[in-house]
Amino acid sequence: MQEPDEPAASADVIVVGAGPCGLAAAIATKTAGHRTIVLERSSVVSGLASYPTYMTFFSTAAKLAIGGIPFVVATEKPARRDALAYYRAVVEHFDLDVRQYERVVEIGLGSRGLGVGSGTAGSERREVGGGGRGGGSDEAPGFLVKTAPRAGNERVIRANAVIVATGYFGAPNKLEVPGENLPHVSHLYREGHQAFRQDVVVVGGGNSSVDAALDLYRCGARVTLVHFGPTFDKNIKPWVLPDMNGRLADGGIAVRWNSRVHAITPSEVVIGTAPGEERLAAAHVYLMLGYLPEVGLLRDLGVPIDSRTGVPAHDPLTMETPVRGVFIAGVIASGYDANKTFIENGRFHGELIAKRLGRREAGGGRR
């Protein structure tokens, strides 16, 4: 792949992902004097925007606040709509350079250019700029970030450091069963109006599946929950569980414990249970199975990814990976276990990164 002929734009820091933790990192680096650009393939906090329309957060508003800007709501816990408005206001307050609908295609080491091959130069790249963390120059080698704006041609931005904060919604966990890609099957749930008086199957035993099942029930759907375990996951929101247990007890929502989906057809979900196979009528199917972190950009840069946990190699005190100048922030630091990092603790990753980068004076250089 050849690089574009036009001069590249430049920044001190590029943040990939405009979720709450990515925005918090951008605030921290900008406040420290680094010219920061945030690149987002969708809209600001698009992960939160994909939550159910009437969802209420587990965390209090204070624990979702970033950049020292108070998050004030009338209720104890904020709703999705409150959070979307808050994070938009934070972007405006700090005048962050957020480039929405601009997908990052590739990140290359500045001295090597783009298109050097996936993950082949990791060991070399860790040595550029002074040899590893133990000695030599503390300067990162610089990066070329190739992007694809939704409207316009591909372009390249140069940066001294890159923060990957691509969040939780990388790729959905798949059942890998026949019919999973049918049009009435979804891995996201927004609202239940379209399922009024329809048979619906919700697969999963966590917060997302419980929230979806309850909302569908209230919208007049006939809901069956299917879960491979004998009960709900242990991290269910405590104020939701009594409501769900009540619907199971009165028959408002049906459940199939210890059951696995074998196939999905245009009108049914075929499950395996202890007594044998069962067919459940289903006009809509929601597979609320969680997501896998999006680590392709890191892997291509040579950052090791733990095959068991999915955690990118990094120093938790600085959030820097073994590739000098490449950092991670937010839930991506938890790998496959999204229950370890939330907005309420991932929002502080940016401060660790900014401390590692140092403060840049107006005339350049670090203090």
Radius of gyration of the chain (CA): 23
pLDDT digits (tens, 9 = 90+) for 105-147: 999 987 665 664 444 333 333 332 333 333 334 555 699 999 9
344 three-state secondary structure: helix
State residue 237's pLDDT score: 84
pLDDT digits (tens, 9 = 90+) for 187-226: 999 999 999 999 999 999 999 999 999 999 999 999 999 9
Round to whole Å and give the CA distance between 344 and 65.
8
Q: What is the DSSP string of 205-269?
A: SSHHHHHHHHHHHHTT-EEEEE-SSSS--TT--TTTHHHHHHHHHTTSEEEE-S-EEEEE-SSEE
Give CA torsion, residues 292, 296, 301, 304, to 10 deg: 30
d(CA 264, CA 326): 42
Task: Report the DSSP pairing between strands 268-272 and 260-264.
Answer: antiparallel
Cα–Cα distance measured from residue 308 to residue 312, given in angstroms and rounded to the nearest whole number: 11
CATH superfamily of 175-287: FAD/NAD(P)-binding domain (3.50.50.60)
Location of each CATH 3.50.50.60 domain in the chain: 9-170+291-357, 175-287
pLDDT in the model for residue 136:
36
pLDDT (0 to 100) of residue 141: 60
Q: What is the pLDDT of residue 200?
A: 99
Superfamily of domain 9-170+291-357: FAD/NAD(P)-binding domain (3.50.50.60)
**Residues lower than pLDDT 70 in the chain:** 1-8, 111-141, 359-367
